[in-house]
Structure 1
Amino acid sequence: MQRFANPLLRHVIHRGYFDAASQTQCLQYLRALRTLQLKGFNTVFLGETDIPESLITGDKTAEEDSLSWPIWTLVHAGSSQGWVPWRYRLLLRDKLFIDWQEAIFQELCDSLTLSYGKCVIVTRDKRQSTHVGTKEVKETGTQPPVPPVIYMSSIKCCPEIARANGHELLAVPSSYSYLYPVDVAWSSLKWFIINNRQGFALRSIGRTYSYRCILFSDLIMKGIEKMTPRKWKVAINRVKRWENYYLDTFS
């Protein structure tokens, strides 16, 4: 089997990721990111992950039954220094009004201003297509790398709100998810939940009934703490190596 000379490329990567349109989109994003970093903007990655109740309880349900189970969405952000000093949000998915969705992003921007000064907030747009090699993208290769509004599952991120607080907002190209280290944090959290949920469960047995109570908030908090600043630094350094490679290759 042929080996890549660059150790960063020892991954299975879809061939379509390297078409001209995809490269253009990636280069736009990276140039915008580096320009802001050189201007003194701190990089903060904002992300979210869904936590089905079945993951917390460990109950294996049929797919049709799981549709009626509550799904929680965890929203948090991290930088090279670790999780940002902001009270993460654990939200019941699809139960937020639009005003609340914007208020959460506004609160994050306020917190970042106090803690870090001006930041470039990097996130993913849930409405991006999974493949960017389309005619529309090829013909508009000079378009800004961020849409007017970025929709996550539970909150709405507005570039105007970010700029009003001294920040900038960017969206990672959908085909280059490994330039987005937040997924490493979510993987760490979910493995912690799977391996430790029994330690956060209380069981009560009465004369005619029994039930189990899981300390959900404590379980999530401890899982978040397991993604330490050292682990964040490792994940972000890996992303930087990819960024350098693409800037050298696509430019």
Structure 2
Amino acid sequence: MFQFNLSSVALLAMEDPDQPDVDPEKLPGDLWDVVGTGGDQFRDWFTRLCLYMVLSGGDPSRPRTHDTVVIGTEYGNTAAVAKLQRDAAEQGRRLSAQAFPQAHSSSASASVSLTLGATGRSVTLNAGQLTPVLSLWQVLSAFANGGSSTGHLLVGDVYSPETLLDARHDGGDLRCRSGVAHGVLTAGDELTARFEFTADEESTARPGGYAWLRDGDESPLGDAGDAPAERNGAFVTAEFLRLVRGLRPAQSAVLRCLGTDGRRAAVTVSRKDESDG
């Protein structure tokens, strides 16, 4: 069992599911003011969106902290790698290792940590459809180990033409919308989280099984039958964290994720009962 507080939740989404990569005209008007342009030649859109999410409304000049940064993503910065390869092929030249200084799967978490001055755990993980639950577990584990008192949870993807092709080949009819969810968690005792990880080898569930509900509601927010058919975990993460923020004392919310291989991950978050002091 983990204890924590949830400070804020935000979602930045690109609404057009058929738009490869990011349409600059649909981005926040203050994006460049927030993230800056220094070193931007080494960034892809996924990194830019992650930076925007953690810097929006914050103080970029704050001192170094032992904050934790966890990014859960299926494709990460592969758009940057694919662009380098595509450009090289078009120009008829070979690539060397020097061409990949920032274009690797964990460059977004490295950029976020460096920009924030965060010296705590820096994690990039891909657990398929279980990513929202595993990412939250990583943040709370850092609190439990005493290493951090603040954690940035970022979950999402930006779909390039190559990643869209891969996603649609593997994910059936799941919708692919680019977007990133951001939650700021802090050490505290307002909320408790319990995790469960299981496997069902005989599962025949469709790819991308998400379900979330609130205990005690006559009409739960979602169940396995009507959960959104989204491949990107950003949307279920943001919806669940918003649900958690609205919990009443002693009320709980559950997020369940089901992978295509039968693996299951679930987290139950409960708000402290006022009678417990």
Length-normalised TM-score, structure 2: 0.26
Between structures 1 and 2, the one with greater helix share = 1
Q: Which has the larger radius of gyration?
A: 1
Between structures 1 and 2, the one with greater strand share = 2
